[in-house]
Amino acid sequence: MGKLRSLISLTYAQKLSLVAAIPLVLAVAAIALMVAIESRATAEREIQALERRLIEAKKQELRNYVTQARNGFAYIYGRAAPDDAEAKETVAQILSAMIYGKDGFFFVYDYDGNNLVSPRQTEFINRNWEGLTDSNGVPVVDEFIRLARQGAGWHSFMWQKPSTGEEAMMIAYVVGLQDWRWAVGTGVFIDDIVATVANARAEVEARVQRTFLYIGGIVLAAVLVVFASGMLLNIRERRLADAKLKELTKRVIDAQEEERGRVARELHDGISQILVGVRYALDNARRRLAKGDHDGARAPLDKGIDNLGTAITEVRRISRDLRPGVLEDLGLGPALKALTDDFRERTGIETEFSTVVFRNRLDHDSKIALYRIAQEALTNIERHSGATRVTIDLRGHKKGATMRITDNGRGLRSRPGQISTGIGLRNMQERIEQLDGTLRILSSRGAQSGTVIEVSLPLSHLLPPQEDATPKRKAGS
């Protein structure tokens, strides 16, 4: 089962292509189905209209035949009495002679069902066919007599073609000679119409099938394009991701090296020099004590002790920069206050910090991110801005939390709202993006110069009041 799941597992590119292709296939399938239904319905309406037109043409032709035949013996029928056998014989001979085409003829039945005229099928003559039905059970002669009694009418039924002996659909038109009680009529076979309609339906079906094939080809081509585009996009995205990963790795290494270099400089330029002074002071005191000059050894010892105090202060400062304990113990506000106080004392730049009481409601990651951003901003101000005044404002609101860092320095070279390419500002941007926040930098150069860095965090990073935002430290730690 596990092997089967591994075989059918899809890659991200395949899933993406599948998600793009399935709606396309479903939409095209629905369109194809609707096109097929509408095409068949439209074609069926057209075929039925064609069939009606052809049958109407046949009926009009039959009506003309019967009218011409009636005109041919009207002068005899009009002057004859109901029992004039001679006139009836003459009219029967006239109708027997009226044959047309391969299968066209006139027939005559009296109202009792006896056949009087049937020139192409003489076996019907002088026989009673009352109750005759076709192969489908449709009454034939009885219907002729009923229509003749009403005056005239149309009747469709299956009948044997005289020319071939095969059964086919016939349409007959019958009129009644009421004085003689005759049903006179003629019929025409419509197998050609049936064949035409069948051919039309077959052509429609073939056209629908071709349409399905065309649509299927288009869908296949579209799906292949989607899959190919997905693969190309995936390859491109992978290359971009690899390039970004390499760049990020390089930047991480550069940041590590820069931090190591900073710590090394701090140790070398600060603590190392202080400790060297302590060593010289202690060595001086040792030599004086060896000579018995106890009073002279007091001054070097005092100086060494002072230098050790300075070294301890420096170690604490470096430790605080690397991992500020006050941030975890007291929260973000006191940590930023200590950071600004130390910045003011170290640089001489006038620095102010203001905040509302957060009650430690920011989550741990947010506090670290805001502290590091403030630390990076102050470092940039000290190195590059030439500012004489810095303000930091931190406060919460109904949408989250915002920290603004403002200075009156030279400003940045980039356009307002655009993040500079410096590694410090890029680090700020990446830190805040990881928390779904925003970073805005407003800067101007000139008489009204200065820079404003505004960092906003969403409300999701503020904890409920009952939750403690920082883990409690163990006793003695």
For range 18-39, the mean pLDDT: 76
Transcribe 64-89 into DSSP letters. Answer: HHHHHHHHHHHHHHHH--TT-HHHHH
175 has which bridge partners? 152, 184
Q: Tell me how far apart the alpha carbons of residues 63 and 30 are, in angstroms, rounded to a whole number.
A: 49
Angle between helices 332-347 and 364-380 (to 10 degrees): 10
456: exposed, middle or buried (Cβ count in 10 Å: 0-12, 13-18, 19+): middle
Q: pLDDT, tens digit, for every residue of 57-101?
A: 888 888 888 888 888 888 888 888 888 999 999 999 999 998 888
How far apart, in Å, do the first and last CA atoms of the chain sit? 52
List, in order of start, the domains of the chain with CATH numbers.
Answer: 102-189 (3.30.450.20), 325-461 (3.30.565.10)
pTM of the model: 0.44
User: Poorest-confidence range of 113-127, 377-391, 435-449?
Assistant: 435-449
The neighbour count for residue 381, using CB atoms within 10 Å, is 23
Q: Tell me how far apart the alpha carbons of residues 216 and 209 are, in angstroms, rounded to a whole number.
A: 10
From 24, 36, 396, 87, select the one nearest 205 (Cα to Cα). Answer: 36
**Chain center to CA of 176:** 72
pLDDT computed for residue 475 by the predictor: 38
Tokens of 279: 């060593």
pLDDT computed for residue 315 by the predictor: 78
